[in-house]
Amino acid sequence: MFKKLFGSSNKVEPASKLATVRNITVGRTVSLDPLAWRRLGDETHFVLDRDVLDISAQGLVSLDSGQFVHRFYTDDHVMLQAMSDDKAGAESYDFSLFIPWTSAYPPGERERRIWRDRLSAPVFHGAAEELPDYPRFWFAESDAVQPPVTLWETIWDDRTATTPYAKIFQTCMLYARELADGRELMIALEQQPEGGETTHEIMIGIPLEMAEFRA
């Protein structure tokens, strides 16, 4: 009754409610099992020199399908990614770990068009980036030219912030190649931050089992 008369004494929570996925969020550390990539041997281009990640930022992508992509970043752009059916990340799955491979500033529209054409092909030919060829993982059932996926990612670097650190429009495609003891992932994308410069990025990744990381 007193709450109805005088209002609740509880403090107003920040407008931002960042997801916590398997106890992972900004400001926490994630321990990795290095066997997740070491078992792949010399076949993989994925190399990580540590088994603990300090999470300094996290991103959220809302997909047209109703699913959500949660991304957790270190200062040097190592990324742990999870999918979920809810924004809070309570039911998460499809975990993966990515490291940055290349980053470039396209000098003009011609280079951007060439990049988009590469992302539209069924196989990404990686010789220019000192990588092998990667078959397309998204739309793998078709060998036809397929426009890359576009999405917005909202980035936060503080759990108490009420506005995001950045919003980035991305044009991207996911690839995968089978190895003797697993699978190597590759994501190629064009990033266009609000108020920032366009870049072309490649990240190399591996799938992660739930038992291979904890926070």
DSSP structure class, residue 36: H
The predicted-structure confidence for 164-198, as pLDDT tens digits, reads as follows 999 999 999 999 999 999 999 999 999 999 999 99
Question: Residue 21 above 70 pLDDT?
Answer: yes
pTM above 0.85, yes or no: yes
**For residue 169, what are its two tokens?**
């429009």
Domain boundaries, the chain: 20-212
What are φ and ψ of residue 91, in 5° steps?
-110, 95
With 0-12 / 13-18 / 19 or more C-beta atoms within 10 angstroms meaning exposed / middle / buried, residue 155 is middle
State the pLDDT confidence band at 10, using cuts at 50, 70 and 90: low
